[in-house]
Structure 1
């Protein structure tokens, strides 16, 4: 007789958050990120995690804490290689146990930023939604003088399951002086900690 129990791939992740926000604060040598819950009315809720990214590190590592006191780390991601455009980044829980990993597809990203995302039961690919904006962003950096002018291009990423084509995660950048992202996770198999790491990496590592 067939089993009525759900398969491993259908089981929800240990920590499921369908929607959250990311806000970036820029300083001279450190990027700071706040991850906040989304209230039922769509407004920003409680702080869920706080992270800092130190620039110019040989081996990328970002640790997420409960708050700005940085007294308790709760999850992190770390590159397997040093300053490598092909680097794979592992996501860990607060005890150092692996939760998933992600990496950038270097060849495809020359035209349109593309990422691999892996977690239990999930193999997904994320790509910039609008090819026109992707090309415009790249051209902007190479135009003399113009490329030095900061322009807040609004670009979004859609991650889809490679097996089913279903949406796994969406990160949408909002129009603001400081970077702000609205992240939705319709797939309950994707753990919040993996989604948060991927969403922060889309900002922190985008130029790599």
Structure 2
């Protein structure tokens, strides 16, 4: 006797808000960096606006807040430096109520040769590095702004958590793939924007 079809079981630590892929688009103005985060199809085409953030271009990058719409009527998540004058202390990622849902920090020592970040979320810890070390070195020592910025994040066992790939467009555009269902969309989105903001794109 054939058992009836059962819905797929969710992982034990599946995130409250998981999206398998989304895009982050940066829009530049004279004074403000604007980031739009949209759900996407498998080809990377935006399908639904999820959140947006605005940041003064010359502002100290200690906090970024994401809102549900352009009117900034409701904050939905954000990240904030633990110590204003010591970015090496890392950033807490919080939900709309201010509760912590994740954490990330740049590994400044490892980043001398290859940009490296550490990330934590519910049920996982991981590390992300630039995919191509040669390109990373060239980007550091030249003024060429078209260099790709591709990061791969893996968990402690080496399994992929999510990846961030820069696509050429008017203003930076990043395609984010999140195969691990433990990774909350808000955590991956915060890290994707931070990669751009903290590297002064």
Does structure 1 retain, via aligned residues, the 8 Å contact 2:160–2:180? yes
State the TM-score, normalized to the length of structure 2: 0.89
- The 3 A distance-change label for structure 1 pair 32 and 135 is same
2:196 pairs with 182, 195, 203, which one?
Answer: 203
Unpaired runs of 5+ residues, structure 1, are 1-8, 141-146
CA contact (8 A) 1:58 1:83 kept: no
Q: How does 1:115-130 map to 2 (within 5 A)?
A: 115-130=117-132
Distance 1:41 1:201 in 2: 23
**TM-score for the superposition, normalised by structure 1:** 0.86
Counterpart among 56, 61, 72 of residue 70 in structure 1: 72
Equivalent position SS for 2:109: helix
Provide Cα deviations, 1:138-196, integer angstroms capped at 9, x if missing partner. 111xxxxxx3xx5211120000002x110001000012231000001111001111111
Contact 2:35/2:53 (8 A) holds in 1 = yes
Counterpart check, 1:153 vs 2:136: no
In the other structure, the counterpart of 1:176 is: 169
Once residues 114 and 207 of structure 1 are traced to their aligned partners in structure 2, the CA distance between those partners, rounded to angstroms, is 15
For residue 110 of structure 1, the aligned residue among 95, 109, 112 is 112
Aligned-CA RMSD value: 1.8
How many residue pairs match? The answer is: 191
User: Which moved further from structure 2: 25-34 or 64-73?
Assistant: 25-34
Equivalents in 2 of 1:58, 1:84: separation in Å?
A: 12
